[in-house]
């Protein structure tokens, strides 16, 4: 049995033992629990004391992390080694937010100079768009940007914009991802081609949805602009500039193959947001992420936020069979955080084989879902509180969510008070006896109270983590998203999987191409399964 297997077995055994004690009782057993399971990192505060682990379970999780050489594997990533083992690539998203004088190397090749050069080009472009030095083909200033991309070429930039945009932006930034033409139709509605910049973001510049939408946008521009003028409105952001130029982009901003799609928001992938927000705001996002990188590199495991966040997840998945996690950002500006984390975590760690190709010996990535608070409370929290499955919750709580609220301090309390109350209710629950007593006190007859009490009881003992941000600043958003990237990496190390490829998305793409070929031929292929053939016949009419 390897040291890792032994550490996993110990964690599972202690987790089973922990199941015999309620979370709330762990506080009495360990007066320093909140201190030991609370961690400050790059301006964020994490409270993991409402997780199910006992002090022993917590230590066993840390032992597992150390046994898996978390720190050595982290250093290998930052050193630019080929940690993406199936594609033989480095994984260096930290290089994108490093200082200009950093010296990151990808497989030995110095890359920081190139990063700094691209950032300088992005900054100059953002400044020129705002100053009017950069205009459309008809010499009109740009007042709108349409960002076309999908997956990692959409989710991160979209989240940054939602989180940091002013209420009345000087540039109207719109996002298009879906191949459904309605998505593009809504984005273009009301825009003027002469004052609209189209930014096409695709690492490969081969993604079907993005190319289809780029063609729609080009056709829309062509209705008003000559080909010569139109090129000023078409920017490509890609690791394949030759493809972008061949397609018709007037200018491209590049990034390298050691930037994973779901880890790319720090790169030129966020050009549209950096322009619309202003370069100074985007730089502050990078500053926040860099601060989290420093924390991840320097903090020992027991006070390392990404490590502890990952261990809570591994404890729940491996130790308690809890294969889902709900993420509830209590800030309207973070409403797309669950969607961003779905790609980051599930595309990174939704894997069935280990790095060496052998079947996994763990459960691997959880199902991540969520909605902003308090909306989720009025949608699916019923099940989180009373359903038979225990679904750990993660509350991302922002002390001040907007300038308006900053003025009226009490404006934020109803939001964060709800988040704290939800975490408390999940932990404490309510016994049938308590529910019955409340019913009696409210005037119910004893037999009515007996009848309703089971329906009004809450099992409680349901785990959660709370992450506090003082305010929704660019730095806090950068630190938060970088923390989740590192958390995802740490989980992948423990599960011994490759968190940086995504072969699982390829089969569906290939089959879609085959179906489209059948559509062009006018009938389903003879060998097609009967279900798909029947559905196609109904849709092809
Ligand atoms: O198909 C999955 C995926 O490759 C994601 O990993 C990626 O973020 C997205 O599609 C978009 O890819 P691209 O940036 O190459 O268009």
Average pLDDT, the chain: 96
Q: What are 367-418's pLDDT values in tens digits?
A: 999 999 999 999 999 999 999 999 999 999 999 876 554 455 556 788 999 9
510: its two tokens: 């290939």
Residue 280 lies in a domain: yes
Number of structural domains found in the chain: 3
486 in active site: no
Q: What are 462-509's pLDDT values in tens digits?
A: 999 999 999 999 999 999 999 999 999 999 999 999 999 999 999 999
Residue 89 lies in a domain: no
Centre of ligand 1 from the C-alpha of residue 278, in Å:
26
Residue 239 lies in a domain: yes
| Same domain membership, residue 278 and residue 172 | yes
Report the CATH number that the domain containing residue 241 is assigned in CATH.
3.40.50.10490
Residue 94 lies in a domain: no
509 in active site: yes
| Same domain membership, residue 404 and residue 272 | no
The residue annotated as part of the active site, out of 81, 134, 194, 347, is 347
The percentage of the chain sitting over the pLDDT mark of 90, rounded to a whole number, equals 96
Tell which phi-psi region holds residue 522, choosing left (phi > 0), alpha (psi between -120 and 50) or beta.
left
| Same domain membership, residue 197 and residue 48 | no
The residue annotated as part of the active site, out of 509, 523, 534, 537, is 509
**Per-residue model confidence (pLDDT) at position 405:** 46
| Same domain membership, residue 521 and residue 460 | no
Q: Choose the final residue of a domain: 216, 251, 284.
A: 284
| Same domain membership, residue 448 and residue 415 | yes
347 in active site: yes
Tell me the sheet residues that pair with 240: none
Residue 333 lies in a domain: yes
The percentage of the chain sitting over the pLDDT mark of 70, rounded to a whole number, equals 98
| Same domain membership, residue 459 and residue 367 | yes
| Same domain membership, residue 13 and residue 123 | no
| Same domain membership, residue 322 and residue 291 | yes
- Show Cβ contacts of residue 302 under 8 Å, excluding neighbours closer than 6 positions: 36, 62, 308
Residue 471 lies in a domain: yes
| Same domain membership, residue 417 and residue 475 | yes
Q: Which domain holds residue 528?
A: 504-539
Tell which atom from ligand 1 comes closest to the C-alpha of 238: 14
| Same domain membership, residue 161 and residue 52 | no
Residue 186 lies in a domain: yes
Tell me, yes or no, if the pTM score tops 0.85. Answer: yes
Average pLDDT over residues 99-107: 96
- Residue 52: band (very low, low, confident or very high) from pLDDT cuts 50, 70, 90: very high
Tell which phi-psi region holds residue 88, choosing left (phi > 0), alpha (psi between -120 and 50) or beta.
left
| Same domain membership, residue 205 and residue 57 | no
Tell which atom from ligand 1 comes closest to the C-alpha of 204: 15
Centre of ligand 1 from the C-alpha of residue 160, in Å:
18
Q: How far is CA 97 from CA 118, 221, 308, 396, 484, in A?
A: 12, 34, 23, 23, 15
Top mutation candidate among 203, 349, 507 for ligand 1, by most atoms within 8 Å of CB: 203
| Same domain membership, residue 267 and residue 295 | no
**Per-residue model confidence (pLDDT) at position 308:** 98
Q: Choose the final residue of a domain: 266, 284, 302.
A: 284
Tell which atom from ligand 1 comes closest to the C-alpha of 210: 16
Q: Choose the final residue of a domain: 220, 250, 284.
A: 284
The residue annotated as part of the active site, out of 25, 113, 378, 537, is 378
Residue 422 to residue 390: CA distance in whole angstroms: 14
């Amino acid at each position: 049995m390897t040291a890792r297997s032994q550490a996993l077995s110990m964690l599972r055994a202690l987790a089973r033992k922990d199941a015999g004690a309620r979370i709330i009782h762990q506080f009495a057993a360990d007066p320093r629990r909140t201190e030991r399971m609370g961690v400050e990192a790059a301006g964020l505060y994490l409270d993991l004391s409402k997780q199910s682990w006992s002090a022993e379970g917590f230590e066993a999780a840390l032992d597992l992390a150390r046994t898996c050489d978390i720190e050595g594997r982290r250093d290998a990533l930052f050193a630019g080694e080929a940690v993406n083992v199936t594609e033989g690539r480095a994984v260096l998203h930290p290089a994108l937010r490093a200082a200009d004088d950093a010296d990151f190397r990808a497989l030995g090749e110095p890359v920081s100079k190139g990063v700094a050069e691209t950032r300088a080009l992005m900054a100059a472009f953002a400044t020129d768009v705002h100053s009017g030095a950069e205009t459309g083909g008809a010499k009109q200033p740009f007042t709108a940007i349409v960002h076309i991309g999908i997956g990692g070429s959409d989710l991160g930039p979209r989240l940054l914009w939602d989180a940091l945009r002013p209420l009345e932006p000087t540039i109207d930034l719109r996002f298009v991802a879906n191949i459904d033409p309605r998505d593009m139709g809504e984005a273009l509605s009301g825009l003027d081609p002469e004052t609209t910049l189209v930014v096409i973001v695709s690492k490969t510049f081969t993604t079907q949805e993005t190319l289809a939408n780029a063609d729609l946008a080009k056709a829309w521009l062509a209705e008003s602009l000559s080909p010569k003028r139109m090129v000023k409105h078409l920017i490509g952001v890609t690791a394949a500039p030759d493809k972008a130029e061949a397609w018709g982009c007037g200018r491209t901003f590049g990034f390298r193959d050691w930037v994973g799609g779901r880890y790319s928001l720090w790169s030129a992938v966020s050009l549209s947001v950096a322009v619309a927000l202003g370069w100074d705001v985007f730089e502050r996002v990078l500053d926040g992420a860099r601060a989290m990188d420093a924390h991840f590199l320097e903090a020992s495991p027991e006070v390392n936020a990404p490590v502890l966040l990952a261990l809570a997840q591994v404890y729940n998945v491996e130790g308690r069979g809890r294969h889902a996690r709900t993420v509830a950002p209590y800030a309207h500006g973070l409403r797309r955080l669950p969607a961003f984390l779905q790609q980051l975590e599930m595309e990174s760690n939704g894997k069935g084989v280990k790095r060496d190709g052998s079947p996994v010996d763990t459960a691997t990535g959880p199902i991540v879902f969520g909605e902003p608070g308090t909306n989720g409370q009025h949608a699916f929290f019923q099940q989180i509180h009373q359903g038979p499955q225990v679904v750990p919750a993660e509350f991302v709580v922002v002390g001040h969510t907007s300038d308006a609220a900053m003025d009226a301090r009490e404006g934020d309390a109803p939001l964060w008070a709800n988040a704290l109350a939800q975490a408390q209710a999940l932990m404490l629950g309510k016994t049938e006896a308590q529910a019955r007593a409340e019913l009696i006190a409210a005037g119910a007859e004893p037999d009515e109270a007996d009848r309703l009490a089971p329906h009004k009881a809450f099992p409680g003992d349901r785990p959660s983590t709370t992450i506090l941000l003082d305010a929704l600043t660019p730095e806090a958003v950068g630190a938060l998203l970088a923390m989740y990237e590192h958390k995802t990496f740490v989980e992948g190390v423990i599960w011994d999987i490759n968190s940086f490829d995504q072969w699982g998305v390829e089969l569906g793409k290939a089959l879609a191409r085959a179906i489209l070929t059948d559509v062009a031929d006018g009938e389903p292929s003879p060998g097609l399964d009967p279900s798909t053939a029947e559905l196609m016949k109904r849709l092809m009419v």
